[in-house]
Amino acid sequence: MDVPLVAGSVSTAIFAASMLPMVLKAARTKDLGSYSLGNIALINLGNVVHTLYVLTLPAGPVWVLHGLYLVSSALMLLWCLRYRSGAPGAPRRLPALHLRPGDREDHAGAPGGGVRVGLRA
């Protein structure tokens, strides 16, 4: 039994299973507001540099794991750039409408009357 190969295979499966929900949720919701663009960019840079090391190793579980990291971090960067609010093609989110104390004044008889609604960030 090749213990390092088994350990590498099991850890690869665990790491892949741990990142899969994050990637699937980001793909489904296109909500990446909680992810740091800087962090995702650095992860991609680190993965590109780490590729130089991985390519010197014999083919095995580490290649699969690194491939999964490359693909998932590249997808997250792509989606982060595409779907973040303000980015072209991003889903438009309307600001929340909140009534402030005193905003509910009856101006029914005045031109443009009705309820004033304030926008808050």
pLDDT of 95 above 50 = no
Q: Which residues pair with 78 in a beta bridge?
A: none
pLDDT of 104 above 80 = no
For the full predicted model, state whether its pTM sits above 0.75.
no
Asked if 90 and 31 count as a contact pair (C-beta separation under 8 A), the reply is no
Of the ranges 3-7, 29-33, 51-55, the best mean pLDDT one: 51-55
3-state helix, strand, coil in the chain (%, to 5): 55, 5, 40
Residue-level pLDDT at 12:
84
18 or 112, greater pLDDT: 18
101 or 55, greater pLDDT: 55
Instruction: Report the run of H or E that residue 119 belongs to, with start and end.
Output: strand 118-119
Token digits of residue 43: 């992860």
CA distance 76 to 69: 10
Asked if 8 and 60 count as a contact pair (C-beta separation under 8 A), the reply is yes
71 or 115, greater pLDDT: 71
For the chain, the average pLDDT equals: 78
CATH topology for 3-94 is Monooxygenase (1.20.1280)
Asked if 76 and 35 count as a contact pair (C-beta separation under 8 A), the reply is yes
Token digits of residue 119: 């926008």
pLDDT of 103 above 70 = no
